[in-house]
Structures are given as structure tokens and as C-alpha cells.
Structure 1
């Protein structure tokens, strides 16, 4: 029983550890992709900021050219002195529109990359809590190195070695009778709970593996023979077996 339970715990621990190892590179990949996504989004923001600035300059030139005929002579003269006559403004507008065109291409590339990165960087909503729970469990057990040591220490462990290293084993009399393990591993003490309700053959089979002491526990009234003429319970011990166990004149005694 204890071997099976310990083995089940080990299997469960290995599954958790393997799942943690499976999720770790996945989330690391997602984390790297999220970093790339943040960088591309920052680049997109910078490109859009520059694009807005150039569009503002083109809009300002369009306004000046549209209002040029209505400007007073002195303002026209001032623009020409500053090198902003009609011809130069038109040239600037061509240059600015070229920059806008190039920036829009870069923005399109960045936005396409963002669309590609979003699914790659997105962590499924159930994956993160599962990983965090596994990570906390592994941390509680001492970390991945400790778990590897625990798992490797149990490699090749057999049932007999497991039983020999345990001070106490709990099982049924039927298990003692049918499991060959108990014929290989003798014990010093046998404690039988609710012994009167165990059939005598099973009880005798269980006592055959003990080297020193046997302690029987149960309701002593179940040891008494039935009334004359009444069929005996299948759980009651035969009178001959009771006398052999306790002696012809002995009677079971209550404890506590």
C-alpha cells in the first residue's frame, strides 16, 4: 500500500516536473516575442509621430500657398528674403511628401509585424496560472535541482527494498496471504485490528510471517461461541481454535 502510494506520488511529481519543463521554454518564447512586440510597437509610435510632423508641415505649406495671393506685399517680400517663395515652398512640399511616403511604408511594415507577433506573444489565459502554480510547487519542494535528485533517487526502487525500509506497513490479511512480498520480508510484530471478525484461515496465514509478537485487537464478545443450536457466524472463530489460541479455561479479556 505504502509503496503504491509513494510510487503514485512520485509519478504525480514527475508529471508536474515534466509539465513545468514543457511550459518553461514555451513561456520563455512568449516572453521574447512580447519583448519584440513591445519594441515594434515603440517603433510604430515613433514612425507615426514623425509622419504626423511631416504631414503638419505639408498642411502648413498648402495653407500658405493657398493664401499666397491674399498676402500683403510686405509679407510676400519677407517670405522671399527668408527663401520661402512660391517655388521653394513647392519644392519643400515635394520633399516632405516623399518623406511621408517613405514613412508610411515603414509604418505598414511595422504594423504587419505587429499582427504577426500578437498571436506569437499571446499567452493562453489558462497557461499562465498553471505555470505559476507549478513554479510555486517546485519552489516549495526545494527547486528543480532538488526534484531531480528526488526523482533520480527513486529510480530502480523495488517493492521489497521499499518494504524493508519501512518501520510500519498497513494492509489486509488477504493481501498478506496472496502477496509474495510478505513471504520475503519477515516482521517482528503483527497488530491485527478487529481480529474477531477475520476468518481463522486468514488470521493464521497472516501470523505465519511474524518472528516475535502478535497483538490482537477487537470486541471480545465476538470471540464467545454462539448459543447452542444456533448456526455459528462465519466470522466467529471455531471453539477448538479459540481454545488453542487462549487455552481451554482461558477467556478473552477487555482492555480499556
Structure 2
């Protein structure tokens, strides 16, 4: 029987500005990429998400990003690597504290937005993220795009790596994501997204925006929590996979 993780980006509201339905998503996903306050999230809201996740035994990962609240972390920043190391260390540490207060812990790390895209090919920034994780806790797995420099360097550094696929994002033929703002970058139809997820898990394939059949291997599937209809898409994905006998479970064990 096949097992797959289902993750979503959560904790991205800020003050009176609400983004997504974290509580509903936590009833569906098995792992939560929780913001760390740099690209999104405020302490009170992040603590609440950690508490809700702990009650549901949803695994929490630190979703680290650029210090860019105004741009939601989706703008590339050419940081000095030493600054990026410190920024990532700071973010993981902040979320570790919130998780400890909620009776849980950070169990993996995933970059967000523009940083996620940058570390696919930007060696200095990928190395900085790896160094930060290694210095905080070398037992934390790194979640990222298959074939990315981030995962290659993480493996070289002795870190565990986990590959993921995006059920609600368009792909280019080289395996990278279609830049936001371009046609086909973001998918919204729950039935289409669920069928796409099923194909990813069962056949290891995804059709790119250029109609190229791309081979893909992933231990985790991502649904963006900030997308309109995110809960409906995640629910449809889970229902479709479970109906096919596929088990949904986090890629890291939750201590019993």
C-alpha cells in the first residue's frame, strides 16, 4: 500500500489580516509548513496554529523565508549568505519556542516562496539554508523540490531530505514551477487537482504547461493554504487518494 504525506503552508495571517482557513486545513493535511514571522505570521496567530496542529497530531515544519512581509516573501532578495544563515537560524528558533509552548516541536524545514525557488539553483543561498539547519538541529529533514541544489547540498551535509510535488502549481519541462503571474501557474479546480495528485502518486507523472510528461517522485504533496478554495482542494485530494487505498501520513514520525 502506498503512503504519502499531504502538506500545506499555514500560519500566514497577520494581525487583523486573515489568510486561509488554518483550522479547517489542519483537519485534512498531515504536515503543516508554519510561517516563522518573516514572510508572514504574527506570534499570537502562530502559537494558535501550533496548538491546533498539536491537538490533531499534525507534524509541524518551519517555513523559513526572506524578511519580506510586504511582498509575502515572494520577491528575491540578494542577501549576504551570512545574513541568510542568521535569518534562517532565527526563524527556526522562533518557531521552536512557539512549538514548545504548544507541546509540540519543529520536525522539518521548508523554504518559502522566492527563497524556495532561489535555492533550486542559487548555490550560495542553498548552502546558507543548509548551514542554518545543520547548526540549529542536524536531525531536521529538509523538504524541497526534486533535483534542487538545496536537497543536493543538504544530502552532502548529512541532512535528511524529502522531495515534494505541488498539486496546485504548474510545472515547466525542467521540473521547476511556473512563475506566478504566468498562465497556468496556479490551479484552482478541486477535481482537476485531485486527479493530478492521484497521477503523481500512482504513476509518478505530471503534465507540464507545455504538455510535456514529466517524471516526478515525491514523498509529500503540497496544497497552498493561501489559495482560494484551498480547503476544498486539499479535501478533494485526500478523498481521492484514500478512495484508491493510499494512506496519508506524515513523512516524519510523531512521538507517541
Specify if TM > 0.5.
no
Higher relative contact order (CA 8 A, sep 6+): 2
The TM-score bracket by the shorter chain reads: under 0.3
Whichever structure has more helix as a proportion of its residues is 1
With normalisation by structure 2, the TM-score equals 0.24
Whichever structure has more strand as a proportion of its residues is 2
The structure whose Rg is larger is: 1
